[in-house]
Protein backbone atom coordinates (compact mmCIF):
# COMPACT_ATOMS: atom_id res chain seq x y z
CA UNK A 1 0.00 0.00 0.00
CA UNK A 2 2.86 2.37 0.87
CA UNK A 3 4.46 1.70 -2.49
CA UNK A 4 1.18 2.35 -4.31
CA UNK A 5 0.76 5.69 -2.53
CA UNK A 6 4.32 6.63 -3.45
CA UNK A 7 3.65 5.72 -7.09
CA UNK A 8 0.45 7.76 -7.09
CA UNK A 9 2.28 10.71 -5.50
CA UNK A 10 5.03 10.46 -8.11
CA UNK A 11 2.49 10.36 -10.97
CA UNK A 12 0.67 13.37 -9.52
CA UNK A 13 3.92 15.32 -9.40
CA UNK A 14 4.68 14.29 -13.00
CA UNK A 15 1.21 15.37 -14.15
CA UNK A 16 1.44 18.61 -12.23
CA UNK A 17 4.79 19.35 -13.91
CA UNK A 18 3.30 18.57 -17.34
CA UNK A 19 0.32 20.84 -16.65
CA UNK A 20 2.64 23.66 -15.59
CA UNK A 21 4.71 23.19 -18.76
CA UNK A 22 1.54 23.18 -20.89
CA UNK A 23 0.32 26.34 -19.15
CA UNK A 24 3.66 28.07 -19.82
CA UNK A 25 3.49 26.98 -23.46
CA UNK A 26 -0.07 28.24 -23.77
CA UNK A 27 0.91 31.60 -22.26
CA UNK A 28 3.77 31.93 -24.75
CA UNK A 29 1.56 31.00 -27.73
CA UNK A 30 -1.17 33.38 -26.55
CA UNK A 31 1.37 36.20 -26.16
CA UNK A 32 2.72 35.63 -29.68
CA UNK A 33 -0.80 35.38 -31.10
CA UNK A 34 -1.76 38.67 -29.48
CA UNK A 35 1.34 40.34 -30.91
CA UNK A 36 0.61 38.93 -34.37
CA UNK A 37 -2.96 40.23 -34.23
CA UNK A 38 -1.72 43.68 -33.24
CA UNK A 39 0.71 43.63 -36.18
CA UNK A 40 -1.99 42.56 -38.60
CA UNK A 41 -4.32 45.25 -37.27
CA UNK A 42 -1.61 47.89 -37.78
CA UNK A 43 -0.87 46.54 -41.28
CA UNK A 44 -4.55 46.67 -42.22
CA UNK A 45 -4.96 50.24 -41.02
CA UNK A 46 -1.75 51.33 -42.75
CA UNK A 47 -2.74 49.63 -45.99
CA UNK A 48 -6.14 51.32 -45.92
CA UNK A 49 -4.47 54.68 -45.31
CA UNK A 50 -2.07 54.05 -48.20
CA UNK A 51 -4.99 53.19 -50.47
CA UNK A 52 -6.81 56.38 -49.48
CA UNK A 53 -3.72 58.51 -50.11
CA UNK A 54 -3.11 56.83 -53.47
CA UNK A 55 -6.73 57.53 -54.33
CA UNK A 56 -6.26 61.22 -53.52
CA UNK A 57 -3.10 61.25 -55.66
CA UNK A 58 -4.98 59.65 -58.56
CA UNK A 59 -7.81 62.16 -58.26
CA UNK A 60 -5.35 65.07 -58.16
CA UNK A 61 -3.48 63.68 -61.18
CA UNK A 62 -6.82 63.42 -62.95
CA UNK A 63 -7.54 67.07 -62.12
CA UNK A 64 -4.08 68.01 -63.41
CA UNK A 65 -4.79 66.12 -66.62
CA UNK A 66 -8.05 68.00 -66.98
CA UNK A 67 -6.23 71.32 -66.60
CA UNK A 68 -3.62 70.23 -69.15
CA UNK A 69 -6.36 69.35 -71.62
CA UNK A 70 -7.92 72.77 -71.02
CA UNK A 71 -4.54 74.41 -71.61
CA UNK A 72 -4.02 72.38 -74.79
CA UNK A 73 -7.46 73.39 -76.04
CA UNK A 74 -6.78 77.07 -75.32
CA UNK A 75 -3.39 76.83 -76.99
CA UNK A 76 -4.94 75.11 -79.99
CA UNK A 77 -7.50 77.86 -80.31
CA UNK A 78 -4.66 80.34 -80.57
CA UNK A 79 -2.70 78.01 -82.84
CA UNK A 80 0.24 77.76 -80.50
CA UNK A 81 1.32 74.27 -81.43
CA UNK A 82 4.32 74.08 -79.08
CA UNK A 83 2.23 75.01 -76.05
CA UNK A 84 -0.42 72.50 -77.06
CA UNK A 85 2.24 69.81 -77.45
CA UNK A 86 3.64 70.59 -73.99
CA UNK A 87 0.16 70.49 -72.49
CA UNK A 88 -0.55 67.13 -74.14
CA UNK A 89 2.73 65.73 -72.77
CA UNK A 90 1.80 67.00 -69.31
CA UNK A 91 -1.65 65.47 -69.64
CA UNK A 92 -0.06 62.17 -70.61
CA UNK A 93 2.32 62.30 -67.64
CA UNK A 94 -0.56 63.12 -65.28
CA UNK A 95 -2.57 60.22 -66.67
CA UNK A 96 0.39 57.89 -66.11
CA UNK A 97 0.75 59.19 -62.54
CA UNK A 98 -2.93 58.56 -62.01
CA UNK A 99 -2.54 54.98 -63.24
CA UNK A 100 0.42 54.42 -60.90
CA UNK A 101 -1.56 55.83 -57.97
CA UNK A 102 -4.47 53.53 -58.80
CA UNK A 103 -2.03 50.62 -58.89
CA UNK A 104 -0.67 51.61 -55.48
CA UNK A 105 -4.21 51.82 -54.12
CA UNK A 106 -4.89 48.37 -55.51
CA UNK A 107 -1.77 46.93 -53.85
CA UNK A 108 -2.64 48.51 -50.53
CA UNK A 109 -6.18 47.22 -50.81
CA UNK A 110 -4.88 43.71 -51.48
CA UNK A 111 -2.65 43.94 -48.40
CA UNK A 112 -5.62 45.03 -46.30
CA UNK A 113 -7.73 42.18 -47.68
CA UNK A 114 -4.96 39.70 -46.89
CA UNK A 115 -4.75 40.96 -43.33
CA UNK A 116 -8.52 40.61 -42.99
CA UNK A 117 -8.22 37.01 -44.18
CA UNK A 118 -5.81 36.41 -41.30
CA UNK A 119 -7.97 38.02 -38.65
CA UNK A 120 -11.70 38.61 -38.56
CA UNK A 121 -11.90 41.85 -36.62
CA UNK A 122 -14.41 44.60 -37.26
CA UNK A 123 -11.74 47.30 -37.57
CA UNK A 124 -9.87 45.28 -40.19
CA UNK A 125 -13.03 44.62 -42.15
CA UNK A 126 -13.83 48.34 -42.13
CA UNK A 127 -10.27 49.28 -43.17
CA UNK A 128 -10.36 46.74 -45.98
CA UNK A 129 -13.70 48.08 -47.22
CA UNK A 130 -12.32 51.63 -47.14
CA UNK A 131 -9.23 50.52 -49.06
CA UNK A 132 -11.40 48.82 -51.67
CA UNK A 133 -13.53 51.97 -52.06
CA UNK A 134 -10.37 54.09 -52.39
CA UNK A 135 -9.08 51.72 -55.07
CA UNK A 136 -12.37 52.04 -56.97
CA UNK A 137 -12.19 55.84 -56.84
CA UNK A 138 -8.52 55.85 -57.87
CA UNK A 139 -9.24 53.57 -60.81
CA UNK A 140 -12.12 55.78 -61.93
CA UNK A 141 -9.86 58.85 -61.71
CA UNK A 142 -7.16 57.06 -63.73
CA UNK A 143 -9.65 56.08 -66.43
CA UNK A 144 -10.87 59.67 -66.63
CA UNK A 145 -7.29 60.96 -66.81
CA UNK A 146 -6.41 58.57 -69.63
CA UNK A 147 -9.55 59.52 -71.56
CA UNK A 148 -8.74 63.22 -71.21
CA UNK A 149 -5.12 62.64 -72.21
CA UNK A 150 -6.26 60.77 -75.31
CA UNK A 151 -8.68 63.59 -76.13
CA UNK A 152 -5.86 66.14 -75.81
CA UNK A 153 -3.61 64.07 -78.07
CA UNK A 154 -6.43 63.80 -80.63
CA UNK A 155 -6.99 67.57 -80.45
CA UNK A 156 -3.30 68.18 -81.10
CA UNK A 157 -3.29 65.73 -84.00
CA UNK A 158 -6.28 67.49 -85.56
CA UNK A 159 -4.63 70.86 -85.03
CA UNK A 160 -1.45 69.71 -86.75
CA UNK A 161 -3.45 68.22 -89.63
CA UNK A 162 -5.26 71.56 -90.17
CA UNK A 163 -2.10 73.65 -90.03
CA UNK A 164 -1.04 75.03 -93.40
CA UNK A 165 2.25 73.67 -94.59
Is the pLDDT at 142 greater than 70? The verdict is: yes
Give the list of residues 6+ apart from residue 140 with CB closer than 8 angstroms, or none.
none
Question: pLDDT tens for residues 37-72?
Answer: 777 777 777 777 777 777 788 787 878 877 877 777
Q: What is the Cα–Cα distance from 66 to 90, expressed in whole angstroms?
A: 10
pTM of the model: 0.58
pLDDT of residue 17: 92
Residue 125: half-sphere exposure toward Cβ, Cα within 13 Å: 4
Residue range 67-79: mean pLDDT, rounded: 74
pLDDT of residue 126: 75
Amino acid sequence: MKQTLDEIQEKLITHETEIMNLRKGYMLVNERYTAALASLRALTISAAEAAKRACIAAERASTATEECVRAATMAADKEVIEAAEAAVKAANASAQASIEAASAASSASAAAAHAVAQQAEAISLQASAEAAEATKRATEAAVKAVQMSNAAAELLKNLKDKRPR
